[in-house]
Amino acid sequence: MPEVFISYGSVDRERVLEIIEQLQILGIDLWFDRYQIPGGVSWGGEIARGIKDCRLFMLMASNRSLESENVRNEIGLAAHYRKRFLPVWIEESVEYPEELLLTLQRIQYISAVRDFAAWKHKLLEALSVANIMLPDTVPAAGAPGGRSGPTIKIGTSLLHLLANRRPQERRFLDELRSHVMNRPHRPVFFFINGEQSQSVDAFISRLKLYTIPRYLSNLNLGGHVEWKHIPWPDPGSNSRADITQRMNDYHVDVRLELDLDSSSPSTDIVRRITDCRNPVVFYSIADGEKWRPALRELLSKLIVFWSELPDVPTTYPVILLVAVRSQQRTGLSNWFARRREPIQSMLSSIVASLQNDNLRVVLLPELGNVSLADAEDWVRSVVESMDPDSIIRQLRELFRQHDLTPEQMIPMERLLPLLQSILLPANTLRGS
């Protein structure tokens, strides 16, 4: 379900639609009744589910809208589910009715009576506090949420999302297809590994923004995906210390992300996943070097936790992702690395030893560095330009100036400045 629920009164529809247009341009994942409720479906049930599953309840507040019984009911339901509120005042002064004072009085509001540019930064701050992730995308006109062939405005901060990761994506999609066809009621677990300079985090973002939604849509499983970020436990000063407690922290975070009590049984986890009525992805990013002494034990416990989860009675897949970042190799670290088991090798042995009938565990190919050929392929397939060959010629020249051979593999973080020096910060790219 979308992360931000929009509550408003019909009397303010025209003004709210103006704001919605600006929010969609930012790429915010919205629940808005005009787009989210199909014909022939119960309005009350869909609205209740939208509120229950959202991360942020955004109230478009005016004095007249707060007189609406529907708006008051939505506020009451959001308070019942303990949702985070963000009041957006669309007129100069709003007086909260007495019955809403307890819920709204102490919450900082945003004044939206001026042009969007005047309050945009406050909105972005509020979304950041609420952990709402904003993709750097611009949906095509007339395509709410970018569902119908979005045009993507991409800045230099997202270039690394588009590095050639075909070996990883092919394996991921092949395994996901097999899982959906054969074992849809069980979770499927993916491990990803690579150095920080190879954009491990960005590969997760690429899966989130492009790969998984597009693929599940092709399987007629809907374009919406529920993403649940489960923070990886902090190893502290001793990563061997109290593994059980650290694993308990992970269990609690899974339940909290599903709006459950920390002591809820596993059957409640299944119920909440089923209630989502969308594919669900639980993902974490771990520092493999910090956790090295206890990585095998911790990941083993993690796999056991999901293996013991009861069957999920839905055709929508439950996908588990853990990205394990390894240390960037330098001359000194290469010398030490020869004396230690590589992270990828460690993960491979863990996966081989813990395969069972209840959970399919997949280790994707290790993320590698990229070459000039990868960069050229990126330009041809992604960058919209009247003259892509000119961009490629400039890129080759920059490789030569930096004493890089066309066959040399370099980290994405080194390739990025070369690409950024050629491309403007807001090139128009094809939507995936």
Residues forming a β-bridge with 189:
320, 361
Cβ-Cβ contacts under 8 Å for 279 (sequence gap 6 or more)? 212, 216, 221, 222, 224, 225, 226, 316, 317, 318, 319
Burial class (CB in 10 A: 0-12, 13-18, 19+), 38: exposed
Q: State the alpha helices, DSSP H only, in 108-242.
A: 116-129, 166-182, 200-206, 212-218
Nearest to 206 by CA among 171, 174, 167, 159: 159
pLDDT of residue 420: 66
Burial class (CB in 10 A: 0-12, 13-18, 19+), 139: buried
pLDDT of residue 200: 76
Of 152-161, 266-275, 354-363, the least confident: 152-161
Q: How far apart are CA 54 and CA 81, in angstroms?
A: 10
Q: How far apart are CA 246 and CA 169, in angstroms?
A: 31
Q: What is the mean pLDDT of residues 27-39?
A: 65
Cβ 165 vs Cβ 205: under 8 Å: no
Helix (H, G, I), strand (E, B) or coil at 358: coil
Three-class SS of 53-114:
HCCEEEEEECCCHHHCHHHHHHHHHHHHCCCEEEEEECCCCCCCCHHHHHHHCCCCCEECCC
When pLDDT is cut at 50, 70 and 90, the band that residue 208 belongs to is confident
Whole-Å CA distances, 326 to 53, 62, 107, 296 = 34, 51, 42, 14
For residue 416, which phi and psi values (nearest 5 degrees)?
-55, -50
pLDDT of residue 36: 45
pLDDT of residue 60: 95
For the record, the structure tokens of 389 come out as 């060959």
Whole-Å CA distances, 192 to 362, 423, 430 = 9, 29, 26
User: CB under 8 Å, gap of 24 or more: what pairs does 166-172 form?
Assistant: 167/365, 168/192, 168/203, 168/364, 168/365, 168/367, 169/211, 171/362, 171/364, 171/365, 172/207, 172/211, 172/362, 172/364
Who has greater pLDDT, 40 or 1? 1
Q: What is the pTM of this model?
A: 0.56
Q: Which amino acid is at 394?
A: Q
Q: What is the mean pLDDT of residues 99-122?
A: 86
pLDDT of residue 114: 84
When pLDDT is cut at 50, 70 and 90, the band that residue 366 belongs to is confident
Number of residues in the chain: 432
Positive or negative: CA dihedral 338, 160, 163, 222: positive
Residues forming a β-bridge with 370:
410
**pLDDT surpasses 90 at 63:** yes
pLDDT of residue 346: 79
Helix (H, G, I), strand (E, B) or coil at 41: coil
pLDDT of residue 402: 75
